Amino acid sequence: MEKTSFLPQSNRILSLDVLRGVAVLGLVSMAVHGFSMVSAASFNPTAYGGLEGINRIAWVVNHVVSDQKFISILAIVFGSSILLFVKNVEGKGFASAKFFYRRILWLFVFGLIHGYVFWHGDYLVVLAVCGAVAYLFRGLSSWTLLALGVMLYFVPSFNYWLFGKTMEFWPPEAIQELENIWHPDQASLQLEINALRGGVFDQLAWRVSETFRLQTVMFLVVNGWRVLAMMMIGMGLYKTGLWSGRWSLKTYFLLAIGAIFIGWWLSITGVQKNFAANWKVTYSMFFGWQWNYIGSLFSAVGYVVLIVFLSTKMQLTWLVNVGKLACTNILITTLICSFLFYGQGLGLFGKLEQMDLIFFIVGLWLVLLLFSNYWLRRFYFGPIEWLLRFLTYGNKPQLEK
C-alpha cells in the first residue's frame, strides 16, 4: 500500500471516535476497581471492604451506570470499525482479509502481554478473538446482524440460568468450592493481597492462573458470547445508518432515553434483589447477576445512540482524541494503576473503599484527556497505534505532523 495510505483517514466517522473515547474513559472505572480490589469483589461487593453509607451509594452508582456497559460500547465500536476498515482497504483495491487478520493477530499478542505481564483484567484478547469471528459475518444484512447479536447475547444468561437451576444436584464439595470463590475466607484474601502488594514475580505467580481462567473458562461461558454479540450489534447499527445521522433527531433522542431507562431500571432492580437475598451465592451468582447483565445491553445501546445524538449537536474534540489513542490510553491506564495499587509502586491494593476510588477515576480521566489532546497536536498517531499500523501494513507510517 502506498505511504500516503498510512495517514489518518479523511473519511473517519467522528462519532465512532467519540464513542471509542467514551468507552476508554468508562473502562477506567473497571480498571481502577480491578486493580485496587480483590478479584471476588468484581462480582460480589460484599466479599471485601465496607459497603455501608456513602460506600454503598458509590458502588450502586458505578454498578448501574458503568459496570459491563463500557466494554459493550467498545465492542459495538469495534464491530462498526470492522466494516469501516474493510471499506477503506478494499476502496484502495486491496483484499481486506490479509490486513485485517494481521492486525487482529497483533492485537491478540498485545493482549496476551497486557494480561499476563500487567493486568489479569485485559480485554484486548477477547476483542481480538471475537473480532476474528465477527469479520466472517460482515456480509449479512443489518437486521440479521442485530437479531444474531441479540440471540448470542442471551447465551450467557441461559448458561447461568442452567447452572443455577441444576445447583441442587451438585455434590456438596462443588457447592462449597463455589462458595469459596464467591466469598473467600480471610486466608485466601490475604494470599491475593500479599501477592499483588509484593514484588513483580509474586504478582506473576498469582496473575498467570487468574488471567488464564478469565481468557478460557470465563471467555467460553460469558465474555466471548457477550463481546461477539455486541460486535454483531455494532455492525448491524453501522449498516442501519446510525453513524451517518440518517435517523431523525427525534428517533435518536427517544431511543436513547428509552433504552437507558429500561437498562437502569433492570440494574437497579437487580441491586434491590441481591441485597434482599443478602448476596447469597445460590441466588446472586446465577440469578441476581442476570439483572445487570441484561440491563447492560439496553444501557449500552442507549448510551451509543445518545452520544451519536450529542455529536450532531456539539463539538466533542477532546473525546475524539481520547478515542483516536484508545490502545495507548489503555496502556497508560494500566501503567498508572500498576504504580498506584501494586507492590512496585504505592501498594494501595486492598486498602481503599468504594468512595475513595472515585477520586482515582476522575484523576485518570483528566490525565487521559490532557495527554491525548497534547499528543495529537504534534503527532498523527499514538505510539501503540503507530506500532499497530506498522505491523499491519509493513511500512512505517508518518508520525510527526
User: Which one-letter DSSP state was computed for residue 377?
Assistant: T
Residue 398 resides in a domain: no
Residue-level pLDDT at 9: 52
For residue 400, list its beta bridge partners: 379
**Tens digit of each residue's pLDDT (9 = 90 or more) over 287-299:** 999 999 999 999 9
**Tens digit of each residue's pLDDT (9 = 90 or more) over 202-238:** 999 999 999 999 999 999 999 999 999 999 999 999 9
Mean pLDDT value of segment 356-379 = 96
The single residue listed with the C-alpha cell 434482599 is 276
Contact by Cβ (8 Å): 340, 8: no
The domain of 38 spans: 3-393
Residue 232 resides in a domain: yes
pLDDT exceeds cutoff 60 at 7: no
**Tens digit of each residue's pLDDT (9 = 90 or more) over 273-288:** 999 999 999 999 999 9
Residue 82 resides in a domain: yes
Cα gap 175→342, rounded to integer Å: 32
Instruction: Look up the pTM and report it.
Output: 0.93
Residue 39 resides in a domain: yes
Neighbours of 49 (CB within 10 A): 18
Read off the pLDDT band of 11 (50, 70, 90). Answer: low
The single residue listed with the C-alpha cell 444468561 is 157
Read off the pLDDT band of 126 (50, 70, 90). Answer: very high
Residue 401 resides in a domain: no
Q: Mean pLDDT for the chain?
A: 92
Output the nine-digit C-alpha cell for 249. Answer: 433527531
Read off the pLDDT band of 88 (50, 70, 90). Answer: confident
Neighbours of 262 (CB within 10 A): 17
pLDDT exceeds cutoff 90 at 250: no
Residue 95 resides in a domain: yes
Residue-level pLDDT at 394: 86
Q: Give whole-number Cα distances, 360 to 120, 293, 318, 355, in Å.
A: 19, 25, 20, 10
Contact by Cβ (8 Å): 269, 289: no
The single residue listed with the C-alpha cell 481480538 is 128
Residues 6+ apart with CB under 8 A from 279: 44, 45, 46, 288
Neighbours of 198 (CB within 10 A): 17
**Tens digit of each residue's pLDDT (9 = 90 or more) over 20-47:** 999 999 999 999 999 999 999 989 999 9
What is the domain count for the chain?
1
Residue 291 resides in a domain: yes
Residue 55 resides in a domain: yes
pLDDT exceeds cutoff 60 at 10: no
